[in-house]
Amino acid sequence: MPSSTYRAILLRVSIAILSYPCSALAEVSDKEPTASLFWTVGIGAALLCLFGTRIKPWLGVTVLALAVLWFVSVFLEIHSSDVSPHLEREQGAFYYWQAYAAFGTVLCGFVVGYVWHRRITS
User: pLDDT value at position 21?
Assistant: 54
Q: At what angle do helices 93-121 and 35-55 cross, to 10 degrees?
A: 10
CA-nearest of 7, 20, 72 to 41 is: 72
HEC per residue, 62-79: HHHHHHHHHHHHHHHHHC
- Give the phi and the psi of residue 32 in degrees, each rounded to 5: -110, 160
The per-type count for the chain, helices as H runs and strands as E runs, is 5, 0
Q: Is the pLDDT reported for residue 17 higher than 50?
A: yes
Say if residues 49 and 63 touch (Cβ distance below 8 Å): yes
Measured from the Cβ of residue 47, the count of other Cβ atoms closer than 10 Å reads 15
**Distance in angstroms (rounded) separating the CA atoms of residues 72 and 95:** 16
For the chain, the average pLDDT equals 88
Q: Which residue has the higher pLDDT, 106 or 21?
A: 106
Domain ranges of the chain: 28-121
Q: Which residue has the higher pLDDT, 85 or 65?
A: 65
What sign results for the dihedral spanned by CA atoms 25, 30, 32, 34?
Answer: positive
Quickly state the pLDDT bin for 23 (edges 50, 70, 90): very low
For the chain, percent of residues with pLDDT exceeding 70: 89
In terms of pTM, does the model score above 0.95?
A: no
